[in-house]
Amino acid sequence: MEEKKVKRNLMKKNLKELSLLERKEMNKEILSRVENTREWKEARTIGITLSLPFEVETRDIIEKAWGEGKRVAVPKCFPQTHKMEFYQLSSFTELETVQFGIEEPLITAEKISKEALDVIFVPGVIFAKNGYRVGFGGGYYDRYLQNYRGKKISIAFHIQIADFVPIEPHDIPVSKIITNQEVLICE
């Protein structure tokens, strides 16, 4: 959808213009809000991506999870089948850099079933207050989240929140969006 592509590219440009100091402060606020949610406190296993430089930093969240004894699973995409699976991550040394500079788990890591993931932190570029999002355009998360029964949460900088995003039939919303300014309940 062309409208999504235009919005996605504009937001990525805006995100890249945030200063290091702004980003650091907002990341700290987001981590604080994440760790105070019921979903975080109850989760034994979380699914979370390794962030790109312009996204909310996820390494701090991953380290916090490890520190609390939570199991962390990160996604690996398989472009030939357009599928994605989650694999356990116990150390940042268990990663490889793939296409577009994305960090993914080594294929030798333990695969974690969808049912074992208590919470999935769903990435995106723009988020609407109703829980729908503009992702990166590959559709990996929308396919993976079909029939997923756990909690779906997104983390974002406040500038990524919009009143509306274009919705397609296959799009799957999240139930909560955590920003540096607020926690949005989308249900």
- Residues annotated within the binding site for substrate are 50, 55
Annotated binding site: 4-8, 50, 55, 133-141
SS (H, E, C) 53-120: CCCCCCHHHHHHHHHCCCEEEEEEEECCCCEEEEEECCCHHHEEECHHHCEEECCCCCEECHHHCCEE
Q: What is d(CA 185, CA 139) in angstroms, rounded to the nearest whole number? A: 23
State the binding site for ATP: 4-8, 133-141
Closest CA to 153 of 116, 187, 181: 187
